[in-house]
Amino acid sequence: MLTRRSILGAVFVAGTLAAAPAFADNAHAFDAKAFAAAQKAGKPILIAVHAPWCPTCKAQAPILSDLRADPRFKDLIYFVIDFDSQKDLLNRFGVRAQSTLIAFKGDKEAARSVGDTKRDSIFAMVGKAV
């Protein structure tokens, strides 16, 4: 028997799954070797800690897509860490919440934000790595 709760749950799951590919365009799952190589090369790096169920992460997705398309960030190396399944990486980077963005300039952390959904401040934060 279908209940209102089961229908709403199905709609939520479908919406969550539909939003995930939009976030993942041009993004790479975190890779320790690629991260180390980018750090060694002095590249600007952005790590986005994402959860598919997170409304803040969904709000960040179009901003991060615009950022990656911006010529100022053409050399930016972009990685995604899954908040739910990559707990070892959360510990490594000291992450306590989804929707965390960490910018590196080579091997140094340049900036970090948690829960930010403002385009200008996200661009400025990542700009510290360029």
Domain boundaries, the chain: 4-127
pLDDT 10s digits, 60-116: 999 999 999 999 999 999 999 999 999 999 999 999 999 999 999 999 999 999 999
Calpha distance 2→103 (Å, rounded):
46
Predicted local distance difference test score (pLDDT) of residue 3: 52
Q: How many helices (H) and strands (E) does the chain have?
A: 5, 5
CA distance 108 to 47: 13
- Strands, sheet with 28-29, edge to edge from the N-terminal-most edge strand: 28-29, 77-82, 44-50, 100-105, 108-114
pLDDT for position 28: 85
| Angle, helix 55-69 to helix 119-127, in steps of 10 degrees | 60
| Portion of the chain with pLDDT greater than 90, in percent | 78
Q: pTM of whole model > 0.85?
A: no
What is the three-class DSSP state of 30? coil
Q: Chain-wide mean pLDDT for the chain?
A: 85
* Integer CA distances (angstroms), 118 to 63, 106, 115, in order: 8, 25, 9
Give the CATH number of domain 4-127; options: 3.40.30.10, 3.40.50.300, 3.30.565.10, 2.40.50.100: 3.40.30.10
pLDDT at 2 over 80: no
